[in-house]
A and B are shown apart, each in its own frame.
Chain A
């Protein structure tokens, strides 16, 4: 059962992350075309090889997104899917693509996540500010609008702060260990010229001296939003042999979601990463000790901590000790988010932040991570996290 490891990522592409985007604004369908063209060139494949697409929502067409993209790119596809799992969407796109390929209904699927600003519409009136809370639904009948928002529990910071505070009360807290996650990842970003914080290393003290946003979370423990975007191409074994890159096979996957609001999670300190990772390990036959690099969705430092624990790299409640005992840098004892992660490289808009982790995992296994290459890197575990640790997906990637 499960993936047989017969679909591989063979091409990737990404934009340079920019905090203040000054380039030409582009619609998401335009970015889809550009990223697909870049990823095909990277793979050494051509447009006519593509017969599948996996997307997240696009601002140009909230419904019928796959057909809009297919038409715009001039693709005729046998598999199309829009994934709606927040930050987990990108990782979930990749295993869906692999599954569709193994099923035999398609051979080459583009998974893309644009995140460069779209042109501003000169004819549009101002948006009602009272109906906008980031990713929070303010619609009538939405439980979140009725039972979260009126109490000020809006957007992501509050939920992750609640998790961190509960973790502290349950297992103890070491703010220097949490800060070390941000500092180590920032060190990794120094090897990634596309990172927004390239050329700007930080120390643990810098993190702890940064502004408190929602206790115990400091601003440097929270991702920096930016413009960016990335894509990858997943193909069959037959096409993988035609690619110029080392194929990176998708050998395991798992997914888990329970609640939208973390308030209602069975235990706030236990994330859905556990069941998703267990599925991926069982499918691939790998165990935590086999993983050469972890690319963990990192909207917050606490997200990385819970991911390391719940994916089995250390015991529950032992994450802080584990972080203190290991270096998370690309040349360290336990490399995590070698591109800097979203904490160090920036969180590109839309769902693009979560595509940066699989793209980096692929680059590491292909041996193309340049100034941040993990030596002899063959196996990566990639996680995607949506909402407040509410949607979770995991894939395991292995080099051929």
Chain B
């Protein structure tokens, strides 16, 4: 059996996010009741449990919250992607997300550095990667 590179499987709730990425846009949910931003996409706001979440386009800019450099693949499915620059980015809206850093040498990664989105196409979907801003 061959390893396949994992891709996101959108749900009815998350579908606008992934469609947004395919169109080169970062869409985030914002709560219409408490005004807080929400990531990952949900049916209810994790701050106030309101169901009034509204999709809004944001810049996708933020800063590097943390990262790791994995010289060996974290799973066999990622064997072609080493070294993996796995990162957590905090968007200016305050939400954090898992991502991968590209267009940067591992030794130049620095927590706090400004980053901007890279729309990274896979076979059936587009991932949200980041690069230095």
Residues of A near any B CB (own CB < 8 A)? 126, 128-130, 133, 138, 140-141, 143, 145-155, 157-158, 161-163, 165-166, 169, 212-215, 217, 261, 263-264, 268
Among A145, A148, A151, A215, the residue within 8 A (CB) of B69 is A215
Among A140, A161, A263, the residue within 8 A (CB) of B98 is A263
Among B7, B8, B65, B86, the residue within 8 A (CB) of A158 is B86
Q: Is the CB of A169 within 8 A of B11?
A: no
User: Is B9 on the interface with A (CB-CB < 8 A)?
Assistant: yes
User: Is B66 on the interface with A (CB-CB < 8 A)?
Assistant: yes
A128-B1, A146-B9, A166-B111 in contact; A158/B96 too (CB < 8 A)?
no
- A317 to chain B minimum Cβ distance, whole angstroms, is 15
Q: Would you mind naming 13 contact pairs between A and B with Cβ atoms under 8 Å apart? A: A130-B3, A145-B9, A146-B10, A148-B98, A150-B127, A152-B78, A152-B86, A155-B75, A157-B68, A165-B66, A166-B111, A169-B112, A263-B96
Q: Is the CB of B68 within 8 A of A162?
A: yes
- A4 to chain B minimum Cβ distance, whole angstroms, is 36
Q: Is the CB of A215 within 8 A of B68?
A: yes
Q: Is the CB of A147 within 8 A of B98?
A: yes
Most buried by B among A148, A158, A161: A158
Among B84, B100, B111, the residue within 8 A (CB) of A165 is B111
Q: Is the CB of B127 within 8 A of A151?
A: yes
In the docked arrangement, what's the CA distance between A30 and B4, Å? Answer: 37
User: Is B99 on the interface with A (CB-CB < 8 A)?
Assistant: yes
Q: Is the CB of A147 within 8 A of B111?
A: no
Among B1, B68, B77, B78, the residue within 8 A (CB) of A126 is B1
Chain B positions 99-120 with a Cβ under 8 Å from a chain A Cβ: 99-100, 111-112
In the docked arrangement, what's the CA distance between A157 and B81, Å? Answer: 17
User: Is B57 on the interface with A (CB-CB < 8 A)?
Assistant: no
In the docked arrangement, what's the CA distance between A184 and B7, Å? Answer: 42
Q: Which 6 residue pairs spanning A and B have beta carbons closest together? A: A161-B68, A169-B111, A166-B66, A162-B66, A151-B98, A215-B69
- By a CB distance below 8 angstroms, the chain B residues around A128 are 1
Besides A145-B9, A165-B68, 19 more A-B contacts (Cβ < 8 Å) are A126-B1, A146-B8, A147-B8, A150-B6, A150-B7, A151-B86, A151-B98, A152-B74, A152-B75, A152-B100, A153-B98, A169-B111, A213-B70, A214-B68, A215-B70, A263-B97, A263-B98, A264-B96, A268-B66
